């Protein structure tokens, strides 16, 4: 395994702390205090990261994407547990139980993170009720995501799983660069290859590509490399078996 790339920079400023879903709504004085404890770090794309680092450091992603996945060396099968976007933290499992987590940490791009020693993060959770009020809903959302992942794998076909995945990740990355007056007409999912999408829905690349090409032929979406543009959002909701109100359930 490649050693963990350590490219430290200056301490984190309060503006970066405010990008975190955990810390964005905390009082400014508390954000300033926390900023003094964080450090910045960069990881190159496709670098192998030892998950044991998560027992020592609590990370928040500032730029890029990270895939969290499991791998079976006996048959080569992989499944994606989560994709981490800027503002997300990982891995809260280690934060809570202080036990190793058997995951593969795969940067999908060059990424920037901030980290704090995990014992300091635990101390903050014990000390500041304001932080707990941010942390508990975030934890609940992650638990719900894993529940939805397991039920979708068990109960639904690839078409339904893929449409639900795309709806979940629409506009998670702000990357529209066309005419701003037309931006509201575009629903984007970017940076995820067919192979990554397949791992996220428990399938293989060929099956996912075939489904995407089918939707493209129906005019539901367009696809260019790792960018999907949704043309008919209502049709995708129908494929997913969703009403718009039920998307977050």
Do residues 55 and 162 share a domain?
no
The answer to whether position 117 is within a domain reads yes
- The pLDDT profile of the chain, 249 residues, written as one tens digit per residue, is 444 444 554 578 898 898 888 888 889 999 999 999 999 999 998 888 888 999 999 999 999 889 999 888 888 888 888 888 888 888 888 888 888 888 899 998 899 999 999 999 999 999 999 898 888 888 888 888 888 888 888 889 999 999 998 888 875 544 444 444 444 444 567 778 899 899 989 999 999 999 999 999 999 998 887 788 888 888 999 999 986 545 544
Strand runs labelled E in the chain:
39-43, 57-63, 66-71, 78-84, 89-90, 104-107, 111-117, 187-190, 221-224, 227-230
- Residue-range definition of the domain harbouring residue 88: 14-150
Domain count, the chain: 2
Calpha distance 213→207 (Å, rounded): 10
168 plus 146 within the same structural domain:
no
**Strand ranges of the sheet holding 111-117, from the earlier edge strand across to the other edge:** 39-43, 111-117, 57-63, 89-90
Residue appearing with tokens 């993170």: 113
166 is written with which tokens? 């795309």
Structure tokens at 229: 């543009």
CATH code for the domain of 124: 2.60.120.10
Q: Is 207 left (phi over 0), alpha (psi -120 to 50) or beta?
A: alpha
pLDDT of residue 231: 87
Residue 246, pLDDT score: 53
Which of residues 150, 166, 193 is at a domain's end?
150
Could you read off the pLDDT of 231-241 as tens digits, one per residue?
888 899 999 99
H or E segment and range at residue 59: strand 57-63
CB count in 10 Å sphere of residue 152: 18
pLDDT the model gives residue 114: 94
- Within this chain, do residues 188 and 79 fall inside the same structural domain, yes or no? no
Give the pLDDT of residue 119: 95
* Nearest of 122, 107, 113, 69 to residue 89 by alpha carbon: 113
Among residues 121, 95, 118, 96, which one has the least CA distance to residue 34?
121
What does the pLDDT read at residue 156? 92
Global pTM value: 0.78
105 lies in the same domain as 75: yes
């Amino acid at each position: 395994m490649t050693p963990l790339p350590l490219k430290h920079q200056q301490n984190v400023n309060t503006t970066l702390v405010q990008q975190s879903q955990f810390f964005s709504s905390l009082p400014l004085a508390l954000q300033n205090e926390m900023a003094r404890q964080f450090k910045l770090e960069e990881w190159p794309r496709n670098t192998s990261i030892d998950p044991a680092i998560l027992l020592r450091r609590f990370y928040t992603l500032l730029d890029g994407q990270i895939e969290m996945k499991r791998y079976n060396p006996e048959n080569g099968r992989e499944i994606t547990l989560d994709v981490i976007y800027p503002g997300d933290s990982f891995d809260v499992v280690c934060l809570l139980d202080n036990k190793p987590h058997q995951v593969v940490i795969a940067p999908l791009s060059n990424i920037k993170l901030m980290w704090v020693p995990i014992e300091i993060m635990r101390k903050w959770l014990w000390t500041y009720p304001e932080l707990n009020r941010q942390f508990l809903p975030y934890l609940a959302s992650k638990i719900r995501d894993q529940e939805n992942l397991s039920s979708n794998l068990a109960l639904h076909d690839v078409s339904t799983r893929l449409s639900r995945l795309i709806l979940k990740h629409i506009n998670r990355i702000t990357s529209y660069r066309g005419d701003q007056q037309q931006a509201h007409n575009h629903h984007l999912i970017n940076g995820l290859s067919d192979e990554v999408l397949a791992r996220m829905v428990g399938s293989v690349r060929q099956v996912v590509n075939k489904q995407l090409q089918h939707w493209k032929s129906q005019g539901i979406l367009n696809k260019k490399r790792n960018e999907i543009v949704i043309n008919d959002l209502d049709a995708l909701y129908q494929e997913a078996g969703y009403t718009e109100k039920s998307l977050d359930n």
